Amino acid sequence: MFRNKKLTALLAALMCGAVLAWELPLIRRSGQEIMVKISRESKTAREITESLKEQKILKHPRLFRFFIKLLGWDKKIRVGTYLFRENEAWPMLLRKLINGESFTVKVTFPEGWRIEQMAERLESSMITSAADFTAGAKAGKMEGFLFPSTYFFEPDTPAPKVIEVMNEQFEKMWKERFEYLKPPKKFGKKEVVTLASIIERETTVLKEKPLIAGVFLNRLRLGWRLEADPTVQYALAKWKERLTYKDTKIKSPYNTYQNAGLPPGPIANPGADSIAAVFYPTKTELMYFVARGDGSHEFFKTLAEHNRYRALQKKNRKAKIKK
């Protein structure tokens, strides 16, 4: 038995040397890149070898199959999506397969994106179907609970898996930062995220977020309508830059110009800073704010102050048009 092991080891060493001598010169003259998916269902030495042969990645498939079975490497190959070149050299090919150096696509979602926007980016990145992602996320009521961040996914990742990963990232963030904090107005998680999503869409200025949270909480406390433009944009199903008076009349439970209180759920997927603003709002007597046009806002205590500023903005716009 000992002699058999020594013989096998010697044979393997000789074959390894022969393969290296044959394959290493090919490294510099490898061809175009080819993507190959190794699944749990196609993980036998024969199936892997056939797949690599069909894609013109592998020369001498029988020798390759014999070689990896002899050394037991067929059992070490990991599932995943891999990027190889035509006639990839064996050492590099095996290193990728055994180390699990699978190919992933980097995708970044900005804070405040809604499900449909995320879906479009995922499909354009060839990660998953936009239709499948949108349907799954909406069915699971995931708006607001898909954390905006940078992710790495394999191409053709099933939509449920993508949703699961993004939601897990949200839950991890929530547990680490907000799980044990006391929210305002006896809000639950859903209400906190809903208000945070409106704040996220209202401003990208970090220092304004707690102040806007304070204004909205003041209005909620007094039973006033929030009259938040992003909720109308959500009801319209698009981020329309400038709303008309007619837009604010749209019949939708998400339209906070027509309905008091919070909308039924989040209108986007907020980042941690907007969620933090709900837990740590600025204590203020301010009740109104107006966009300046540069991403920031002007804040007011009274409706009269608010209306004077709006009138001044309108006058300035007309003056620019005349010029």
Q: Hey, what domains does the chain have and what are their CATH numbers?
A: 2-99 (3.30.1490.480), 105-177 (3.30.1490.480), 184-322 (no CATH)
Give me the mean pLDDT over the 176-189 stretch: 94
Q: Euclidean distance between the first and final Cα of the chain, in Å? A: 96
Task: Tell whether the model's pLDDT for residue 17 goes beyond 80.
Answer: no
pLDDT above 90 coverage of the chain, percent: 57
Among 113-122, 172-181, 208-217, 238-247, name the one with the lowest average pLDDT: 238-247
How far, in Å, CA of 61 to CA of 104, rounded? 26
Beta partners for residue 298, in sequence order = 290
Query: Strand ranges (DSSP E) for 105-203?
Result: 105-108, 150-153
Predicted local distance difference test score (pLDDT) of residue 46: 78
Q: Contact, 38 vs 22, CB < 8 A?
A: no
Query: Is the separation of the CB atoms in 10 and 34 below 8 Å?
Result: no
Is 4's pLDDT higher than 60?
Answer: no
Per-chain mean pLDDT for the chain:
85
Task: Indicate whether 58 pLDDT > 80.
Answer: no
Hey, which residues does 291 pair with through a beta bridge? 297
Q: Where is 142: in which H helix or E strand?
A: none
| Residue 10 pLDDT exceeds 70 | no
Closest CA to 266 of 167, 176, 180: 167
Q: Where does the pLDDT of residue 96 fall: very low under 50, low under 70, confident under 90, or very high at 90 and above? A: confident
What average pLDDT does the segment 272-301 reach? 94
**Measured distance CA(58)–CA(55) in Å, rounded:** 8
Interval 286-313 mean pLDDT: 91
Q: How confident is the model at residue 45 (pLDDT cuts 50, 70, 90)?
A: confident
Are 163 and 136 spatial neighbours (Cβ–Cβ below 8 Å)?
Answer: yes
Lowest mean pLDDT among 13-17, 275-279, 303-307: 13-17
Of all residues in the chain, what percent carry a pLDDT higher than 70?
Answer: 87
Measured between alpha carbons, how far is 248 from 255 in angstroms, rounded to an integer? 7
Instruction: Assess whether pLDDT exceeds 50 at residue 252.
Output: yes
Residue 266's region, left for phi above 0, alpha for psi from -120 to 50, else beta, is: beta
Q: Which whole number is the average pLDDT over 208-223?
A: 97
